[in-house]
Structure 1
Amino acid sequence: MQFSGARVASFVVPLGLGLLLGVTGPMAEHGGGGPGAAAGAVFNGGWPWAGYAFLVGYFRRSKIESVVLAPVGLAIGVVAYYMTKGNLASLGGMDSSGAGSSGIALWGVLAFLFGAPLGLLGNLARVPGIGGLFFRLLIPVVAFYETSMRLEMESRGPSQVVLGTWTTVRFTAVAVAVALVSHTVWGWWRPRRGRPAGVGAD
């Protein structure tokens, strides 16, 4: 079986994005400063990882490819995360807790356990209209819930930059959810608005 360059790229790109996801969090933390703290607060959270697996499934036409690529990409990201974290910790200026093989093993297993269903849910979110709306709302809901819990439980520890980042993510999640619902309702209602009275009635 021969694969075209575009077909190969369609597999390589999502896996490469998983690698980038894993590297970004530790690199942002290591960079320091306000931007680094904000980026670290975002990419070290759980919702971007869930969002990555979800979007991998969303942009695949095949459910099988969604279920396979999402967890593989997450696993690549996990390995990249802990390897980057360990290497930066050896250079100093960064916490190395959990950066060993045990962290890779634990989160690697979780990547496969959660990556496959998230990829499938992302694929189901491709269903147009109200049928796919509840799936499309998954990541905004996860982002809102996670950041709300962090703000409630860790409000005294993190810096104001981190707290501000979590607050921004929470409000953005609400805005995205409202936009998704509005777009779906408008798409459902618009064809019916221009339909002449009595059309479709028995």
Structure 2
Amino acid sequence: MTDHQRHGRQRQDRSRAPRLAGILVGAPAAGAGFGVATSLANAAAHSYADLESEDYTTSGWSIAEVVSVLLDSGWAWAGLAVTVGWLACRAGADRPAALARAAAAGALALLAATAAYSVAETLRSGGPLSSWYMAEPLVWWVTSVVFGAPLGAVGACIARPGVIGLLARLTVPVGAAVQMIVLPPGRNEVIAAIGKTIVWAAAAVSIGVVVVRFLGAQRRRRSPAAAESP
């Protein structure tokens, strides 16, 4: 190995260390913030809900409840993992390292979100803090890793050109729209209708923007080739 190659590898190793530290700190911090925010939104929704009223139970709603059902939805947690994976790879790196880094970030974010949510729910219920890890079923801890890692890797693909990047950018809005069909949010039809309307509208706008930008980029790539051809 030449001195130039040795110095180049040393520079790469030094540049990886801050990125790794950023993932180990940033991903759990983002996940913990999301988990606490979700628990606080649920608490606010519960405080506004008058479940002793039959009318409120069947048709009542509040802004706090709408925020709660939006944050405490599978697509929102998936979006957290995808976003953290994308942020972990913005600095750029070779693809295998980028995917591994993003996958780790996605899993760490969802694990931290589950842990923070469990702690917040334990404190809110007045239970002993030592039992916080029991507040959530084991399936959610396993799900955080099983789904967090691939979703983080999807986030790493967002910046890629072509069809792979397009599919990565469509993952969250399409998944959110599908969830509104398979598992609508809310405890009554009114909240479910409001939640579905908000999510479908946001998903439609997001999908439209992503597709338009993709087609525009494809058109710009073809233009130089067409101009050079005889």
> Same fold by TM (over 0.5)?
yes
State the one-letter code of the partner of 1:199. E
CA distance in structure 2 between the aligned counterparts of 1:192 and 1:159, rounded to whole angstroms: 48
Contact 2:27 2:108 in 1 (8 A): no
Deviates more, 1:130-139 or 1:159-168: 159-168
2:157 — aligned with what? 124
Q: 1:136 aligns with which of 169, 172, 176?
A: 169
Q: 1:71 aligns with which of 83, 107, 110?
A: 107
Kindly report which structure 2 residues correspond to 1:1-202, keeping only aligned pairs within 5 A, or say none. 7=19, 8-9=21-22, 11-32=24-45, 33=48, 34-61=62-89, 62-90=98-126, 101=134, 103-151=136-184, 157-158=187-188, 160-193=190-223, 195=224, 199-200=228-229
State the one-letter code of the partner of 1:182. V
Following superposition, the deviation at residue 196 of structure 1 comes to: 8.6
Contact 1:144 1:173 in 2 (8 A): yes
CA distance in structure 1 between the aligned counterparts of 2:151 and 2:197, rounded to whole angstroms: 25
Q: May I ask how many residue pairs the two structures share in their alignment?
A: 190
Closer, same or farther: CA 131–69 of 1 in aligned 2, 3 Å: closer
**Superposed CA offset, 1:1-34 (max 9, x none):** 8789964445422221100111112211211342
Following superposition, the deviation at residue 104 of structure 1 comes to: 4.6
CA distance in structure 1 between the aligned counterparts of 2:215 and 2:22, rounded to whole angstroms: 35
Following superposition, the deviation at residue 83 of structure 1 comes to: 1.9
Give SS of 1:137's match: helix
CA distance in structure 2 between the aligned counterparts of 1:2 and 1:134, rounded to whole angstroms: 33
State the one-letter code of the partner of 1:28. A
Runs of at least 5 residues in structure 2 that lack an aligned partner in the other structure: 1-12, 49-61, 90-97
CA distance in structure 2 between the aligned counterparts of 1:16 and 1:82, rounded to whole angstroms: 15
Give SS of 1:59's match: helix
Runs of at least 5 residues in structure 1 that lack an aligned partner in the other structure: 92-98
CA distance in structure 2 between the aligned counterparts of 1:21 and 1:196, rounded to whole angstroms: 46
Tell me which stretches of 4 or more aligned residues in structure 1 moved more than 6 Å: 1-6
1:96 — aligned with what? none
State the one-letter code of the partner of 2:124. L
Contact 2:28 2:111 in 1 (8 A): no
**Superposed CA offset, 1:70-104 (max 9, x none):** 1111111111112212221239xxxxxxx861725
Sequence identity, in percent?
A: 22
Contact 2:41 2:68 in 1 (8 A): yes
CA distance in structure 2 between the aligned counterparts of 1:75 and 1:66, rounded to whole angstroms: 14
Instruction: Look at both structures and tell me which one has the larger radius of gyration over its CA atoms.
Output: 2
Closer, same or farther: CA 197–63 of 1 in aligned 2, 3 Å: closer
Following superposition, the deviation at residue 190 of structure 1 comes to: 3.1
* Higher relative helix content: 2
**Superposed CA offset, 1:139-168 (max 9, x none):** 1111001122234xx78x426345313321
TM-score (norm 2): 0.71
